[in-house]
Every structure is written in C-alpha cells, then in structure tokens.
C-alpha cells in the first residue's frame, strides 16, 4: 500500500518503518522552524508525548535549527510531580531539550503538578500571549485519543483553549490538554503514528467514525507500514 485515505487529513505520508518516519518528521520540523523564523522571527511549537515522538526528538537534536528563536510548549501533560519520569516534559527534556542550545525561559511546561484546573487556567494565560502555534505535534492512542482528549470524555468537546481532563481511561486519570480549538488553530498539525496497535483506530476513522484524532482538521499524518490496516 502506497497511499491511505483519512477524512479531514491534509495529507497522509507512509514510511517503511519508525526510523524513516522519525527522520522525515524531524526534517519537516526543521524546515517549518526555518520558515517561521524567516517570516516572523520566532517558531512556536507544541511537543507531543509518547514513544513515537521520542524517536523523532532524538533525530531532531542533530539537525540545524536556530534554537534561540524557538519557543517550546506541550500538547498535554499528566498531573504528576515536576520531574516525574512519566511526564511529557521530562521525556522531551531527556531526549531533546537538554541536548540543544535553547534558553530555559523558552520552554513553557504545563504546571500540571498544581492540579488540572489550576494548570489549565495558567497555561491558557501563557498561550494568550501568542497569536497561534506554528506547529503542533500529535500522537494517537489505540482508542483514537490525541493529546489528552479521549473518546466520550467531556474535555474532547470543550471549547476552552486549554482543558482540565478528569477520569482519563489510562493513568493518571487527571491531566491537562490543549483544547481542540487550540490544536486546530495551529498553522500546521503533524501526527506521528506507528505500530500495529493503531490499526483499529485508523480503520474506524477511515470509515468515518469521529474519534478525537479525527477532529483535528487539515493535519499531516505520518504513518509507518506497521500501522496500516491490512
């Protein structure tokens, strides 16, 4: 299979394996950063958590990017103590941010250790200072969730720019996520999808089921062959 159709997608790219996918997306990020910095002097990007983005970040740290003009945000965060190994910002720091010359003031962590409601309110104030994100990186769970917007959870339908998430079906139950409105407002949205565990959700979306990931409009989807439905 050389192509795959997903409703609402701007484009779908198929890569032979996770390594190829990770390098292609890393190169795409570097290109978008250069374009944004040339156009308005700064690149605002929200990072994703998860194993697939981890590989991409390892590739990204070796590419030529003007990190002094990059502002880092996060698509979601688990309500865990600062420095916890399960936090998305910790993974991003360990795999990417501590390896590049980015000022610490340019890394905008979600203060999820304060609890979901307080953290969501504070992060909404941070995002209010920018027009919109240049890029949002996204993963997708086996249930079709993206960021921390889960199927049948009220947060997925919220119009708030940043949402408090409770009763998430995977631990921890309390989280903070960029809202769907903020995700869709980004200039570019890129999904990184790897592994056979994602086939079911992709099949459902291809047949028209509106899982949370399918509500992200005009995104680029990067899939490896293991994720493709038979």
Q: What is the pLDDT of residues 31-76, one digit of tens each?
A: 999 999 999 999 999 999 988 999 999 999 999 999 999 999 999 9
Closest to 179 (Cα-Cα) out of 159, 194, 198, 195: 159
Specify the pLDDT at position 3.
Answer: 62
Cβ neighbours, 10 Å, residue 6: 18
pLDDT at 2 > cutoff 70: no
> Is the preceding omega at residue 172 within 30 degrees of 0, hence cis?
yes
Specify the pLDDT at position 230.
Answer: 74
Domains (range + CATH), the chain: 9-174+190-195+218-227 (3.40.50.1360)
Mean pLDDT of all residues belonging to the chain: 97
Contact 184, 216 (CB under 8 A): yes
The token pair at 210 is 């509106």
Question: In a 3-state reduction of DSSP, which class is residue 153?
Answer: coil
Question: Residue length, the chain?
Answer: 230
Closest to 66 (Cα-Cα) out of 95, 106, 93: 106
Contact 136, 37 (CB under 8 A): no
Question: In a 3-state reduction of DSSP, which class is residue 104?
Answer: helix
Specify the pLDDT at position 77.
Answer: 99
CA distance 201 to 180: 18
| Confidence class for position 96, pLDDT limits 50, 70, 90 | very high
CA distance 114 to 122: 10
pLDDT at 1 > cutoff 50: no
CA distance 76 to 44: 15
Could you report how far apart the first and last alpha carbons of the chain are, in Å? 9
Torsion from C-alpha of 76, 80, 84, 87, nearest 10 degrees: -10
Q: What is the pLDDT of residues 125-144, one digit of tens each?
A: 999 999 999 999 999 999 99
Q: What is the pLDDT of residues 142-191, one digit of tens each?
A: 999 999 999 999 999 999 999 999 999 999 999 999 999 999 999 999 99
Classify strands 219-224 and 9-15 as parallel, antiparallel or unpaired: parallel
Instruction: Specify the pTM.
Output: 0.96
Provide the β-strand partners of residue 191: 138, 221
């Amino acid at each position: 299979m050389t192509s795959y159709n997903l409703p609402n997608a701007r484009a779908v790219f198929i890569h032979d394996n996770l390594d190829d996918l990770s390098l292609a997306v890393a190169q795409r990020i570097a290109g978008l950063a250069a374009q944004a910095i040339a156009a308005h002097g700064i690149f605002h990007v929200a990072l994703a958590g998860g194993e697939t983005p981890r590989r991409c970040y390892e590739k990204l740290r070796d590419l030529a990017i003007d990190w002094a003009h990059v502002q880092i945000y996060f698509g979601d965060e688990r309500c865990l103590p600062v420095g916890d190994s399960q936090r998305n910002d910790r993974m991003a720091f360990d795999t990417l941010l501590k390896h590049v010359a980015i000022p610490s003031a340019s890394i905008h962590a979600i203060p999820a250790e304060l609890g979901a409601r307080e953290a969501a309110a504070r992060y909404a104030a941070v995002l209010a200072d920018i027009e919109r994100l240049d890029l949002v990186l996204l993963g997708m769970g086996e249930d079709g969730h993206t960021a921390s917007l889960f199927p049948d959870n009220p947060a997925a339908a919220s119009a708030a720019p940043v949402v408090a998430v409770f009763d998430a079906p995977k631990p921890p139950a309390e989280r903070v996520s960029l809202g769907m409105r903020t995700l869709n407002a980004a200039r570019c949205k890129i999904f990184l999808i790897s592994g056979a565990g994602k086939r079911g959700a992709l099949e459902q979306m291809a047949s028209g089921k509106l899982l949370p990931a399918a509500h992200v409009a005009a995104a680029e989807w990067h899939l490896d062959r293991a994720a493709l439905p038979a």
